[in-house]
Amino acid sequence: MYDFNGILIFFLLGAGLPIGALIGSYILSPRKSSPQKYKTYECGIDSHGKTWVQFKICYFLYALVFLVFDVETIFLYPWAVTFQQLGMFAFVEMFVFIAILIIGFLYAWKEGALEWC
C-alpha cells in the first residue's frame, strides 16, 4: 500500500487545490450587484451598435485544423532528439504516427476544411 501513497497524495492535491480555490473565491468575493456588473465589457471601450457578431465557421475550422496539426508536430521534437537511442521500433512507430497525420490531413482536405470562405 505504501507504493500508492504518492499517487493518493497527488490525487488529493490535484482535486483539493481547485476545489479550495473555488471555495475561497466564493467566500471572499463581494456580493453587491450593480448595473455596471452586467454591462458588456470590450477592451475598456463602450461598444456601439450590435455587440453580437457571428463569425463564419470556416475561420474556426481553419484554426482547429491548424491547432491539431501544430500540437501533433510537438510530438516529433522529443523523438528527433532521442532518435539515435530509440532504434528501429521507434522509427516504425513514428512512421505510423506520421501516416495517421497524413491521412487526417487528406481527410480534412477532402472534406473542404482547408477551403477559405
Asked if residue 10 has pLDDT above 70, the reply is: yes
Q: Name the residue with higher pLDDT: 114 or 67.
A: 67
Amino acid at the residue 31: R
pLDDT at 96: 92
3-state helix, strand, coil in the chain (%, to 5): 70, 0, 30
- Round to whole Å and give the CA distance between 95 and 108: 20
pLDDT at 24: 95
pLDDT at 4: 85
CATH number of 2-111: 1.20.58
Domain ranges of the chain: 2-111
Burial class (CB in 10 A: 0-12, 13-18, 19+), 68: middle
- Round to whole Å and give the CA distance between 101 and 71: 11
| Interval 31-88: pLDDT, tens | 888 887 777 666 666 667 676 777 677 778 788 888 888 888 888 888 888 888 888 8
